[in-house]
Homo-oligomer: A and B are copies of this chain.
Amino acid sequence: MDIYTRLNSLNITLPEPYPPFGVYLSVKQSGNLLFTSGILPVSDGKQLYTGKIGGELTVEQGQEAAKVCVLNALSKIHAHTKNLNSVKSIVKMLAFVASAPGFNKQGLVMNAGSQLLIDIFDSPAGEHVRTAIGVNEIPHNAPVEIEMIVEV
């Protein structure tokens, strides 16, 4: 199915891609692989949440942030490719979760983002490998940061 039709049927509107916060590109292509920069849960020009999951923030808030990161990634890939239907495979996600001491459910947080990708692509193209890891600090005090490798 056409990805944009699928997004509509899920009541998802892709956000405008937010501009890079520093001296880097949002997406760079090498051969048929697209690499994204680290993507933050920016929504309407503002960070959705700040803080550590397992501390100021709950798993549910982290999951919401993970989903916003995924939509931002797709919006940046859309801006690069002009057509998300050219995505053959979401290959890989590397996900960093700002974690309060003793918080070890990074996988549960990121499942929300992975599931959203799978729901949107609705085919093996959306199934990906993933590494989720806890870190003590993320730029702009974001709770989650993801990068992706995508095949076109």
Binding site for B on A (CB under 8 A): 21-28, 30-33, 35-38, 89, 91-94, 96, 99, 101-108, 110-111, 114-115, 118, 127-141, 145, 147, 149, 151
Contact = CB atoms under 8 A, between A and B. Distances in A.
Contacts of A135: 133-137
A93 B128 CA distance: 18
Nearest to A50: B104
Contact of A136 (B91, B101, B129, B147): B101
In the complex, which of the residues A24, A102, A127 has the most CB atoms of chain B within 10 Å of its own CB atom?
A24
Contacts of A145: 131, 133
Given A139-B104, A139-B107, A28 B133 contact: no
A133 B23 contact: no
Given A23-B114, A102-B137, 16 more contacts: A23-B111, A26-B129, A28-B129, A30-B89, A31-B32, A31-B151, A35-B129, A38-B132, A94-B131, A94-B147, A101-B137, A106-B137, A129-B147, A131-B145, A132-B139, A134-B137
A41 to B, nearest CB: 14
Contacts of A128: 24-25, 28
A22 B111 contact: yes
